[in-house]
């Protein structure tokens, strides 16, 4: 069994830095590079546990205490539990990915490299960046999508329609007559109304979309009256949403 303490220290520092940076990006925290480095160095000091003969329970408790110190040093007390949870979540994803790669294993609580340790270092380093980048990107996209999700109640001709709405920053459509914002829906009305045709332009395409004036639109217990319902014949590309809210609503919700 070969143990390279300098490589283990460098690897721990590098991985802890990427994990902390991932937590910072996901939670959009304003943390300085200095604090990220201090937190990473604190995490790397767990290498000292390699020289202490303790049972597994004490070792596990020690690692937990160190992780708490890492979070406090890097992010402070604000949002402590959320920071700690994401720190462990990213660590578990990263650890599982490394296990899948099967280039390291643990023996007597020591990190052991298979074959060429230098090549493995590059694989682990590059792999850490790639895995955390994918996780952060997907998590941010998920949060942005569902932070703009709303339950929309539309009342037309005494009929109620409950739809899953999504605020699309690209939806700046409004009628040129009274400057009313347009809510786009895939909706079939039980009773037809008089249409108001609103012109639109998308990329190199122009046209008009039939709209109707609703009796009432309620979103998050807020009532919107100065708007129109645009009847879209095309299915929305955003999954599980049947209603596209205008960007202007973001200011009021």
Compute the distance between CA of residue 158 and CA of residue 144 in angstroms, rounded to an integer.
Answer: 34
Q: Are 28 and 137 in contact (CB under 8 A)?
A: no
Nearest Cα residue to 229 out of 242, 245, 212, 244: 212
pLDDT at 251: 74
One digit per residue, pLDDT tens: the chain, 253 residues? Answer: 455 666 777 877 888 898 898 899 888 888 899 999 999 999 888 777 666 777 778 877 888 898 999 999 999 988 899 899 889 888 888 777 666 555 554 444 444 455 555 555 566 666 677 778 788 887 777 666 666 788 899 988 888 889 888 887 778 888 888 889 999 998 776 656 688 899 888 767 788 988 999 988 999 888 988 899 998 877 776 666 788 888 888 777 6
Beta strands at 243-245 and 196-202: parallel, antiparallel or unpaired: unpaired
Backbone angles phi, psi at 232, to 5 degrees: -95, 130
Compute the distance between CA of residue 174 and CA of residue 104 in angstroms, rounded to an integer.
Answer: 58
Compute the distance between CA of residue 153 and CA of residue 160 in angstroms, rounded to an integer.
Answer: 7
Helix (H) or strand (E) holding 162: strand 159-167
pLDDT at 57: 83
The first and second tokens of residue 101, run together, are 């790669």
Compute the distance between CA of residue 19 and CA of residue 95 in angstroms, rounded to an integer.
Answer: 11
Q: Are 206 and 200 in contact (CB under 8 A)?
A: yes
Contacts of 93 (CB under 8 A, 6+ apart): 131, 135
Burial of 110 (0-12, 13-18, 19+ CB in 10 A): middle
pLDDT at 2: 52
At 231 the three-state DSSP class reads strand
Beta strands at 227-231 and 159-167: parallel, antiparallel or unpaired: unpaired
Contacts of 175 (CB under 8 A, 6+ apart): 182, 196, 198, 211, 228
Tell me what percent of the chain is helix, strand and coil, each rounded to the nearest 5.
Answer: 45, 25, 30
The first and second tokens of residue 225, run together, are 């009256």
């Amino acid at each position: 069994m070969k143990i390279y303490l300098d490589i283990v220290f460098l690897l721990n520092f590098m991985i802890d830095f990427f994990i902390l940076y991932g937590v910072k990006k996901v939670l959009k925290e304003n943390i300085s590079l200095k604090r990220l480095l201090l937190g990473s160095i604190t995490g790397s000091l767990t290498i000292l546990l390699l020289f202490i003969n303790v049972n597994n329970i004490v070792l596990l408790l020690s690692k937990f205490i160190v992780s708490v110190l890492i979070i406090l040093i890097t992010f402070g007390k604000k949002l402590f539990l959320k920071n700690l949870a994401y720190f462990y979540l990213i660590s578990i994803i990263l650890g599982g990915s490394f296990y899948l790669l099967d280039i390291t294993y643990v023996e007597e609580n020591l990190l052991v490299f298979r074959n060429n340790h230098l090549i493995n270092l590059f694989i682990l380093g590059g792999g850490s960046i790639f895995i955390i980048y994918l996780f952060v990107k997907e998590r941010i996209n998920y949060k942005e999508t569902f932070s703009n999700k709303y339950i929309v109640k539309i009342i037309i001709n005494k009929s109620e329609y409950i739809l899953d709405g999504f605020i699309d920053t690209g939806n700046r459509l409004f009628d040129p007559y009274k400057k009313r914002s347009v809510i786009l829906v895939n909706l079939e009305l039980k009773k037809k109304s008089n249409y108001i045709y609103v012109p639109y332009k998308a990329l190199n395409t122009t046209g008009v979309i039939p709209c109707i004036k609703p009796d009432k639109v309620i979103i998050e217990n807020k009532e919107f009256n100065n708007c129109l319902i645009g009847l879209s014949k095309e299915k929305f590309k955003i999954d599980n949403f049947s209603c596209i809210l205008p960007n202007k609503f973001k200011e009021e919700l």
